[in-house]
Chain A
């Protein structure tokens, strides 16, 4: 039973605030993803939990014990680094045994534990290999095993798949998720890839400029983003900036009833929630390009002021000779001052 509690944590470097009054509780056995663009403070936050950075203010507690100023070697955390950071002068076995030796475990038990964890990550019998004899995916598995063998209370993963190719990334993603659920280990996972976050996490924290933008389960995050930033960051989203006047949202050749007070607003519509019909009115939204993906097609539309939107349709062939369209959002959200002011349907 291990619970990680991040309480009002702030980290300031000389000129910038990397993490700003951050609060989060990660429950026992939960996998939480920290998702955000580079520079959003997610890695700094992870390093503070691992003990490699000290918060300027705030507290980090693990199972109720304050570890804010505990050095990394005394924390019950295990970190997997982006660059795998295996010790190249040791073979795989020695890499895994190093931490156990520091804990003065008997030789036989070290051997048993190392072999068990190698089996767990699918590298049984690889102990004698030199680290440079392994492929990128194998190296990252060894790095994961090196953390797991010490049975940490909290597992920290810092973009562990960033240097791998797409195919391998997807496979390791599933493997790590399987292992995490089998061991029921409380895990914090840093990534800038939304696919990774959506497919692995119990909850996703979207970070921006050192602050939490939203925390939610993947399906909720996708369907009910709380801010335009989250809406634009997760999946593809049309974010249309326009004006509301008399209950009508409008922008150059496009309008939509929107029952909120007059003023500027951002309308967010997913491509799959934007239904379009052929039209002969070339002064409205025009078809810019049709991209056929077989099962579906993406249509790029252009408003008269040059603003581009995307819509998903079933069949590309129906649209090859069409020059203009009318747009009807089936589900959308409206934002004003960085917050949701209106939501229609569930898919935006």
Chain B
């Protein structure tokens, strides 16, 4: 038997960047996570003097926390559903139909993201004020809908374009109506990538703060908005820490879900890779 010696080079650069990334991403998470389960932690101690869930009890005992959790969840669900309802047919049209102004309309969805968002939001807030939408649930839904348009149009467009036209023609050939072809062939083929887009817009909406705060305040307070006001107004760090740990829950669930539904290539395909 021939023995082959393979010299394994140690990739020092790779290790360095991996370590750096870990430090930058994980370290703040550890600090916040630690704060959430700390009763007493005074300078200059490196480790908290007293661990505990005292602040969890205090936070979860607050009515405004619970109402903002339900509000955030229902807001994100409504926005994502509406967005899918509006954007998926539009994306299909962009992908498959040729109509005047197609390209300009397609790129117009970038406009909302190409300029400082706050200026745009203030202008919209002015209009909403006249329409009596400020401080209402549906006002926030509308403003957050704008934020999801880019993902929910661009990614599904790429997904629909990636579906082989011959597959659709073969389905017509065996007797499927155009509607049936869409439901049985096009949508399942584009499905995983569209699921990725829906997930992105759900999570994006859940964490959105600028629009929710500007349009919703003070009556409508989502979980992230509440967290910001806790951090700004309370001298106690733990309230903010507990809330931000709470905020990880939906994105963690979303990630678990994403791993099952979405193959690793779907996101990349959605972005045209």
Binding site for B on A (CB under 8 A): 50-52, 71-74, 77-79, 81-83, 85-89, 98-99, 102-103, 143, 146-147, 150
| B167 at interface, CB cutoff 8 A | yes
Is B64 interfacial (CB 8 A cutoff)?
no
Across the interface, name the chain B residue whose C-beta is closest to A158: B166
Known: A89-B189, A98-B184, A102-B180. A81 touches B169 (CB 8 A): yes
B→A interface (CB under 8 Å)? 164, 166-167, 169-177, 180, 184-185, 188-189, 191
A98 to B180, CA, bound (A): 11
Residues of chain A lying within 8 A (CB to CB) of residue B174: 73, 78, 98-99, 102, 146-147, 150
Known: A87-B185, A88-B189, A89-B188. A102 touches B175 (CB 8 A): yes
Across-interface contacts of B188 in A (CB, < 8 A): 89
Chain B: minimal CB distance from A113 (Å) = 13
Question: How far is B169's CA from A143's CA once the two chains are assembled, in angstroms?
Answer: 13
Partner of A73, one of B173, B185, B189: B173
A86 neighbours in B (Cβ, 8 Å): 167, 170
Instruction: Please determine whether B173 and A77 come into contact, CB atoms closer than 8 angstroms.
Output: yes
B159 to chain A, nearest CB (A): 13
Do the beta carbons of A78 and B173 come within 8 Å of each other?
A: yes
Tell me the bound Cα distance from A86 to B170 in angstroms.
8
The CA of A87 and the CA of B190, in the complex, are separated in Å by 12
Checking A77, A78, A85, A102 against B176 with a beta-carbon cut-off of 8 angstroms, the contacting residue is A102
In the complex, the answer to whether A72 meets B189 with C-beta atoms within 8 Å is no
4 tightest Cβ-Cβ pairs between the two chains A and B: A99-B174, A85-B166, A85-B170, A72-B172
Contact B176 A98 (CB under 8 A): yes
For B185, list chain A residues within 8 Å (CB): 87
New A-B contacts (12) at CB < 8 Å, excluding given A85-B170, A88-B167, A102-B180: A51-B172, A81-B170, A82-B166, A85-B166, A85-B167, A86-B167, A86-B170, A87-B167, A87-B185, A102-B175, A143-B170, A147-B173
| 21 A/B residue pairs, CB under 8 Å, sorted by A | A50-B173, A72-B169, A73-B172, A73-B174, A74-B175, A77-B173, A79-B169, A79-B170, A81-B166, A82-B166, A83-B164, A85-B167, A85-B170, A87-B170, A87-B171, A88-B167, A88-B189, A98-B174, A99-B176, A150-B174, A150-B175
Distance from A54 Cβ to chain B, minimum over Cβ atoms (Å): 14
Q: Which residues of B contact A98 (CB under 8 A)?
A: 171, 174, 176, 184
What B residues does A71 contact at CB under 8 A? 172
**Please, how many angstroms separate the alpha-carbon atoms of A52 and B184 in the complex?**
19
A103 to B177, CA, bound (A): 12
Among residues of A, the one whose C-beta sits closest to the C-beta of B181 is A73
Return the chain A residue nearest B191 by Cβ: A89
Q: Is the CB of A85 within 8 A of B169?
A: yes
- Majority DSSP secondary structure for residues of B touching A: helix
> How far, in whole Å, are A99 and B166 apart by their CA atoms in the complex?
16
B169 touches A73 (CB 8 A): no
A83 to B163, CA, bound (A): 13
Which chain B positions have C-beta within 8 A of A85? 164, 166-167, 169-170
* B172 to chain A: closest residue by CB: A72
- Closest Cβ of chain A to B74, distance in Å, is 32
Bound together, the chains give a CA A68 to CA B170 distance in angstroms of: 19
Residues of A within 8 A of B169 (CB): 52, 72, 79, 81, 85
Residues of A within 8 A of B166 (CB): 81-83, 85
CA distance A220 to B191 in the complex (A): 53
**Closest CB of chain A to B102's CB: distance in Å?**
18
Among residues of B, the one whose C-beta sits closest to the C-beta of A72 is: B172
Q: For B167, list chain A residues within 8 Å (CB).
A: 85-88
Q: Which residues on A sit within 8 Å (CB–CB) of B177? A: 73
The residues of B that contact A50 with a CB separation of less than 8 Å are 173
Residues in B with CB closer than 8 Å to A78 are 173-174
Q: B173's contact among A72, A88, A89, by CB below 8 Å, is which?
A: A72
Of all chain A residues, which has the CB nearest B168? A85
Cβ distance A226 to chain B, nearest Cβ, rounded Å: 34
Measured in the bound complex, the distance between the Cα atoms of B260 and A345 in whole Å is 72
Q: Which residues of B contact A82 (CB under 8 A)?
A: 166
CA distance A87 to B170 in the complex (A): 9
* C-alpha gap A298/B167 in the complex (Å): 45
CA of A78 to CA of B164, assembled, Å: 18
Q: How distant is the Cα of A147 from the Cα of B180 in the complex, in angstroms?
A: 18
- Tell me the complex Cα distance, A86–B166, Å: 9
Chain B residues near A102 (CB, 8 Å)? Answer: 174-176, 180
Q: How far is the CA of A143 from the CA of B172 in the complex (A)?
A: 14
A149, closest chain B residue (CB): B174
| Bound CA–CA A174/B173 (angstroms) | 25
- CB of B180 within 8 A of CB of A146, answer no
